[in-house]
Chain A
Amino acid sequence: MQKFTQLTSTIVPLPNEDVDTDQIIPARFLKATTRDGFGENLFRDWRFHPDGSPKQDFVLNNPTHGGAVLAAGRNFGCGSSREHAAWALYDYGFRVVVSSFFADIFRGNALNNGLLPLQVSPAFLHQIFTAVAQDPTTVLSVDLEQQIVRIGADGPQEQFDIDPFRKVCMLNGYDDIDYLLSMKEEIEDFEQAAQP
């Protein structure tokens, strides 16, 4: 997993609420057996017509917007547990998703893949959308160490929460699995003790 410390980037606004993982990556694209290449089909049915031509009104096809930050409406990532959603966002180039609320499984999947699910207050999210609408070159600065997110060079800023364990993992690029593997003995002891 790649480390994440800080990032300053322009923002792709997607104000839709309840964006489910079937929209992020439709099921018919889950047939791959590796983690690569899912970015191509990110938001497939919102992004492309059935004949493969781009839907001009979808934000990813709008040259005005771009960047490594996706700002989305509340309850982002609900629905299916498919980690392919996090892979697709990452593969496309996103490193941060900002929303006022994330679905649980998506949040975990994102964190396990170096994609920061950044939860801000509804008011702050609204400020982000307003700022981007006024000026598409507005940047968002994220400092994970300090847990601070700021709009523009000197715009409003907000402190954000992240589980301390997850923070350490993100900052250092650790996977849970490394940690769990280091606990083998304790796990075996637990199994022994649990045997009736």
Chain B
Amino acid sequence: MAAKTLFDKIWEAHVVKPVEGGQDVLYIDRHLIHEVTSPQAFDGLRQRGIPVFRPAQTIATADHNVPTLHQHLPIVEPLSRFQVDKLTENCREFGIELYGLGHAWQGIVHVIGPELGITQPGMTIVCGDSHTSTHGAFGTIAFGIGTSQVEQVLATQCLLQKKPKRMRITVDGTLASGVTAKDIILHIIAQLSAAGATGYFVEYAGSAIRALSMEGRMTICNMSIEMGARGGLIAPDEVTFEYVRNREFAPKGSDWEKALQYWQTLHSDPDAVFDQEYYIQAEDIAPMVTYGTNPGMGIPVDGAIPQVSAEGGASFEKSLEYMGFAPGEKMLGKTVDYVFIGSCTNSRIEDLRLAAAYVKGKYKAPNVRAMVVPGSKQVEQQAKAEGLDRIFAEAGFEFREPGCSACLAMNEDKVPAGKYCVSTSNRNFEGRQGPGARTILAGPLMAAAAAIAGKIVDVRA
């Protein structure tokens, strides 16, 4: 039998039928939906007069549009309220489980899937959201889809997909102190550029990846899309199995044993061939920050903004102009107005612990507004149980309720025009955190440090 990659194994197990012209009909095990990219899909079903094919394999939550304060009250903003209500109606009409506002399991779709044990190794998972790649941390083929495809999956539990090419990125060695999973992925994207992995599905491997917790692995896979990859995945191991074990929807008893047996086969064969391979040494990775308007524009925190981009051109200049930075400048010491700790990249309990441990006993700089937005109701409860909410409050940080929040600024959590925000989210696009907002991406530790210092600092110093 020919050697196979992990990706091949999972993909092949889900091909219902190959179609002429190079597409496969791919079976989808779990479909996650949220309020923003689903209403038009449900309308499509209604127009066709067809039901949801496998409602039990579909899970819904409200996250993108929800306020992060006073979630027990009706949503004030009428359009947001309408969209969230629409999701509730659609789920009721089509028989889909909804963990909406007020539910103990509500949260960012990519945070709740894993924490509820819905996400399991070997599965195919899709969602109308590009950061579905997060779930790949469990050895899962997970990717974002458009609304037409949401409709297809609702109607048939399948998608027509062309198999992507395979890439492996191996990170070996030991991370320096103060360097986190977020820095690994920002480093990788800076190396490969914002389009460097387009057309590929990426497997992350190597001792530095193995050494990460599930939270860290999710942070890495989450940002695969930021270099153009359809998704990223990591072979499941003991860390994965321990994380999944006993979670709400994880298999139990003899089902668990059977599942585990299968999951243990989920790794790339030793002589499997990848279309593209990269090797990175963990010791070379420094705490990272971005200086531009795509996630590929990242540098070590003590580095200087390049003179010209690798690709050169007007887009680079436009980007720096938007950010108010000049080529050759240092990022260290740059003033910060906002700090956002949250998003599906870095809003899990481990992220909050890391930030809380840093800010404990300190107080934020007077020029900074700092927000901590937990990824889910469960993360929020856990943080409170550990007293992290108090640590944040005593440090002058706002500890809010779960949602996407300032990651995409669809609700009222926005960064004003021209202001700088150090954000643990995944996108620094123009206007992403509000019209005119200037985003500097970093990990939770660097973000916490920036809030205390009121400027960009090196956590290693």
Q: A residues near B, CB below 8 A?
A: 15-18, 20, 22-23, 26-28, 30-35, 45, 50, 73-75, 78-84, 86, 101, 103-105, 108-109, 112-113, 163-166, 168, 175-177, 179-181, 183-184, 186-187, 190-191, 194, 196
Instruction: Kindly list chain A residues whose C-beta atoms are within 8 Å of the C-beta of B409.
Output: 27-28
Asked if A186 meets B17 with Cβ closer than 8 Å, knowing A33-B86, A181-B156, the reply is: yes
Instruction: Kindly list chain B residues whose C-beta atoms are within 8 Å of the C-beta of A33.
Output: 39-40, 43, 82-83, 86
Task: Say yes or no: is B420 at the interface (Cβ < 8 Å to chain A).
Answer: no
Instruction: Kindly list chain B residues whose C-beta atoms are within 8 Å of the C-beta of A80.
Output: 129-130, 408, 427
Instruction: Kindly list chain A residues whose C-beta atoms are within 8 Å of the C-beta of B64.
Output: 27, 30
Q: Would you call B408 and A27 a contact (CB within 8 A)? A: yes
User: Considering the chains assembled together, what is the distance between the CA atoms of A168 and B159 in angstroms?
Assistant: 17
Nearest A residue to B315 via CB reads A17
Asked if A81 meets B194 with Cβ closer than 8 Å, knowing A26-B435, A45-B431, A165-B19, the reply is: no
User: Considering the chains assembled together, what is the distance between the CA atoms of A74 and B86 in angstroms?
Assistant: 37
Q: Would you call B315 and A163 a contact (CB within 8 A)? A: no
Q: Would you call A176 and B152 a contact (CB within 8 A)? A: yes
Asked if A190 meets B16 with Cβ closer than 8 Å, knowing A79-B429, A81-B130, A180-B152, the reply is: yes
Nearest B residue to A30 via CB reads B36
Nearest B residue to A102 via CB reads B198
Q: Would you call A165 and B435 a contact (CB within 8 A)? A: no
Task: Say yes or no: is B102 at the interface (Cβ < 8 Å to chain A).
Answer: no
Instruction: Kindly list chain B residues whose C-beta atoms are within 8 Å of the C-beta of A79.
Output: 130, 225, 427, 429
Task: Say yes or no: is B234 at the interface (Cβ < 8 Å to chain A).
Answer: no
14 of the cross-chain contacts (CB-CB < 8 Å) are A30-B410, A31-B65, A31-B83, A33-B39, A33-B83, A79-B427, A105-B145, A108-B146, A109-B148, A176-B148, A179-B160, A180-B160, A183-B25, A196-B258
Task: Say yes or no: is B306 at the interface (Cβ < 8 Å to chain A).
Answer: no
Q: Would you call B429 and A22 a contact (CB within 8 A)? A: yes
Task: Choose one: A28, A73, A175, A191; the contact of B315 (CB below 8 Å).
Answer: A73
Instruction: Kindly list chain A residues whose C-beta atoms are within 8 Å of the C-beta of B148.
Output: 83, 109, 112-113, 175-177
Instruction: Kindly list chain B residues whose C-beta atoms are within 8 Å of the C-beta of A180.
Output: 25, 152, 155-156, 158-160
Q: Would you call B16 and A187 a contact (CB within 8 A)? A: yes
Instruction: Kindly list chain A residues whose C-beta atoms are within 8 Å of the C-beta of B146.
Output: 81-83, 86, 105, 108-109, 112
User: Considering the chains assembled together, what is the distance between the CA atoms of A175 and B160 in angstroms?
Assistant: 11
Q: Would you call A104 and B39 a contact (CB within 8 A)? A: no
Instruction: Kindly list chain B residues whose C-beta atoms are within 8 Å of the C-beta of A165.
Output: 19-23, 160
Interface size of B by CB at 8 A reads 69
A-B pairs, top 7 by smallest CB distance, nearest first, are A165-B21, A83-B146, A33-B39, A164-B21, A109-B146, A31-B79, A81-B144
User: Considering the chains assembled together, what is the distance between the CA atoms of A187 and B23 in angstroms?
Assistant: 16
Q: Would you call A164 and B20 a contact (CB within 8 A)? A: yes
Instruction: Kindly list chain B residues whose C-beta atoms are within 8 Å of the C-beta of A82.
Output: 36-37, 146
Q: Would you call B158 and A105 a contact (CB within 8 A)? A: no
Task: Choose one: B156, B313, B314; the contact of A183 (CB below 8 Å).
Answer: B156
Q: Would you call A177 and B155 a contact (CB within 8 A)? A: yes
Task: Say yes or no: is B398 at the interface (Cβ < 8 Å to chain A).
Answer: no
Instruction: Kindly list chain A residues whose C-beta atoms are within 8 Å of the C-beta of B19.
Output: 165, 179
Task: Say yes or no: is B203 at the interface (Cβ < 8 Å to chain A).
Answer: no
Instruction: Kindly list chain A residues whose C-beta atoms are within 8 Å of the C-beta of B313.
Output: 17
Task: Say yes or no: is B318 at the interface (Cβ < 8 Å to chain A).
Answer: yes
Task: Say yes or no: is B272 at the interface (Cβ < 8 Å to chain A).
Answer: no
Task: Say yes or no: is B298 at the interface (Cβ < 8 Å to chain A).
Answer: no
Task: Say yes or no: is B147 at the interface (Cβ < 8 Å to chain A).
Answer: yes
Task: Say yes or no: is B362 at the interface (Cβ < 8 Å to chain A).
Answer: no
Task: Say yes or no: is B191 at the interface (Cβ < 8 Å to chain A).
Answer: no
CB distance from B437 to the nearest CB of A (A): 11
Task: Say yes or no: is B162 at the interface (Cβ < 8 Å to chain A).
Answer: yes
Instruction: Kindly list chain A residues whose C-beta atoms are within 8 Å of the C-beta of B120.
Output: none
User: Considering the chains assembled together, what is the distance between the CA atoms of A66 and B194 in angstroms?
Assistant: 29
CB distance from B148 to the nearest CB of A (A): 4
Q: Fill in one digit per residue for B150-173: 1 if any A CB lies within 8 Å of its CB, else 0.
A: 011001111110101000000000
User: Considering the chains assembled together, what is the distance between the CA atoms of A109 and B130 in angstroms?
Assistant: 12
User: Considering the chains assembled together, what is the distance between the CA atoms of A187 and B155 in angstroms?
Assistant: 11
Asked if A183 meets B17 with Cβ closer than 8 Å, knowing A23-B430, A101-B198, the reply is: yes
Instruction: Kindly list chain B residues whose C-beta atoms are within 8 Å of the C-beta of A194.
Output: 13, 27
Q: Fill in one digit per residue for B385-429: 1 if any A CB lies within 8 Å of its CB, else 0.
A: 000000000000000000000001110000001000000000101
CB distance from A74 to the nearest CB of B (A): 7
Asked if A177 meets B22 with Cβ closer than 8 Å, knowing A28-B410, A30-B410, A78-B195, the reply is: no
Q: Would you call B149 and A15 a contact (CB within 8 A)? A: no
Task: Say yes or no: is B364 at the interface (Cβ < 8 Å to chain A).
Answer: no
- Which of A18, A181, A191 neighbours the largest number of chain B CB atoms within 10 Å of its CB? A18
Q: Would you call A103 and B228 a contact (CB within 8 A)? A: yes
CB distance from A41 to the nearest CB of B (A): 12
